[in-house]
Amino acid sequence: MSDLLRDIYSSIMDGRQKETAEKVQEALDQGADPSVLLNEGMIAAMTEVGKLFEEGEYFVPEMLVAARAMQTGLGILKPYLVKADVKSSGKVVAGTVKGDLHDIGKNLVCMMLEGSAFEIIDLGADVDPQRFVEAVHQTQADIVAMSALLTTTMPNMKVTIEALKAAGLRDNVKVMVGGAPLTQQYADEIGADGFAPDASRAVATAKSLLAA
Ligand code: B12
């Protein structure tokens, strides 16, 4: 790991927003590969934060400041990840499901999709099933992308799929799900059309869903 990559990793771990932004910019200015910064520096730091939380070394405030530093770093990285095409690949309504405030992964998925010329309607986090339904209805979206990071909120994906069915919209839209606790098996069980374990594979999944 280069020194700068290590600095980015530790500035996120310690929740130092300003330093994270500066180090990410410095690395980019030096020609670093954005996906290496993202995966080996930033996402690796968030994974470690989660591990420390599980072990009782970190608490919610530490997770929160680390998440803020991560979001700040992502803001700097975004223009390098998103090089939007002209022709739209499709319309995606995205959100983190009801009860769940984790939005970093969902934001990354949105960024990568945007970079592949998808139009994004980002509903944010803690999104009520009816809000997804309304957005699909209003925008005539091609895909609904739902994220969940908690085992307790994963079932709200199924509730949302049921709400789309009840509104008569399920046949008009593909449903894609993701988030750390999810699996392909779970996606199949709740009747989603696609699952991806990370943001770059989310793009491939979205494309294949629309090609199908
Ligand atoms: C940061 C963080 C927080 C922050 C969130 C800030 C924010 N704005 O997002 C804060 C401090 C608010 C938080 C709160 C809580 N958290 Co928290 N948090 C995390 C942490 C450390 C990192 C999550 C993250 O951002 N990862 C980085 C991103 C890039 O990864 P990702 O989200 O998995 O996304 C990738 C893929 O999953 C996929 N993906 C994601 N979404 C989608 C969607 C689609 C459609 C597709 C295709 C793919 C896809 O692509 C993404 C990019 O590659 C995780 C630990 C972990 N390792 O996941 C715990 C973790 C998720 N939290 C946990 C817990 C317990 C909580 C709290 C309940 C703690 C508490 N006691 O209050 C609360 C719940 C609050 C709520 N109601 O949501 C547990 C969950 C345990 C469980 N099994 O349910 C974890 C796993 C920590 C742990 N190891 O115990 N948390």
Q: Residues 139-157: pLDDT tens digits?
A: 999 999 999 999 999 999 9
Quick: pLDDT tens for 160-170.
999 999 999 99
Ligand 1 mean position, distance from CA 102 (Å): 5
Each as own residue / partner, the long-range contacts of residues 10-15 (CB below 8 Å, 24 or more positions apart, any chain) are 10/45, 11/69, 12/41, 12/42, 12/45, 12/46, 12/49, 12/66, 12/69, 12/70, 12/73, 13/45, 13/48, 13/49, 13/66, 14/65, 14/66, 14/69, 15/62, 15/64, 15/65, 15/66, 15/68, 15/69
Ligand 1 atom at shortest distance from the alpha carbon of 201? 47
Nearest to 107 by CA among 73, 132, 158: 73
Ligand 1 atom at shortest distance from the alpha carbon of 196? 47
pLDDT at 201 over 70: yes
Same domain membership, residue 168 and residue 97: yes
Report residues whose beta carbon is within 6 angstroms of any ligand 1 atom.
Answer: 43, 46-47, 49-50, 53-54, 60, 63-64, 67, 99-106, 108-109, 145-147, 149-151, 176-181, 196, 198-199, 202, 205
Same domain membership, residue 161 and residue 99: yes
Ligand 1 mean position, distance from CA 116 (Å): 24
Domain count of the fold of the chain: 2
Instruction: Output the residue whose Cα is nearest ligand 1's atom 30.
Output: 105
Question: How high is the pLDDT of residue 150?
Answer: 98
Task: Tell me the average pLDDT across 181-206.
Answer: 95
pLDDT at 204 over 80: yes
pLDDT at 173 over 60: yes
Ligand 1 mean position, distance from CA 150 (Å): 7
CB atoms within 10 A of CB 180: 15
Instruction: Write the DSSP string, 132-147.
Output: HHHHHHHHT-SEEEEE
Ligand 1 mean position, distance from CA 30 (Å): 31
Cα-flanking dihedrals φ and ψ of residue 209, to 5°?
-65, -35
Max mean pLDDT among 81-90, 93-102, 116-125, 196-205 falls in 93-102
Q: The tokens of 95 are what?
A: 């959100």
Same domain membership, residue 203 and residue 149: yes
pLDDT confidence tier of residue 84, bands split at 50, 70 and 90 = very low
Top pLDDT among 81 and 16 is at: 16
CATH of the domain at 199: 3.40.50.280
Ligand 1 mean position, distance from CA 27 (Å): 26
Domain of residue 56: give its range. 3-81
| Model pTM score | 0.91
Same domain membership, residue 166 and residue 65: no
Ligand 1 mean position, distance from CA 146 (Å): 14
Q: Which of 43, 102, 113, 210 to mutate to test the pocket of ligand 1 (most atoms within 8 A of CB)?
A: 102
Same domain membership, residue 50 and residue 17: yes
| Domain end (from 21, 52, 81) | 81
Ligand 1 mean position, distance from CA 197 (Å): 13
Same domain membership, residue 113 and residue 205: yes
Same domain membership, residue 96 and residue 148: yes
Quick: pLDDT tens for 107-136.
989 988 887 778 999 999 999 999 999 999
- Is 155 in contact with 125 (CB distance < 8 Å)? no
Same domain membership, residue 111 and residue 76: no
Cα-flanking dihedrals φ and ψ of residue 3, to 5°?
-60, -40
Ligand 1 atom at shortest distance from the alpha carbon of 100? 78
| Domain end (from 31, 58, 81) | 81
pLDDT at 1 over 90: no
Same domain membership, residue 103 and residue 189: yes
Same domain membership, residue 131 and residue 38: no
Quick: pLDDT tens for 18-59.
999 999 999 999 999 998 999 899 989 988 998 999 999 999
Same domain membership, residue 61 and residue 16: yes
Question: How high is the pLDDT of residue 4?
Answer: 94
pLDDT at 2 over 90: no
- pLDDT, averaged across the chain: 93
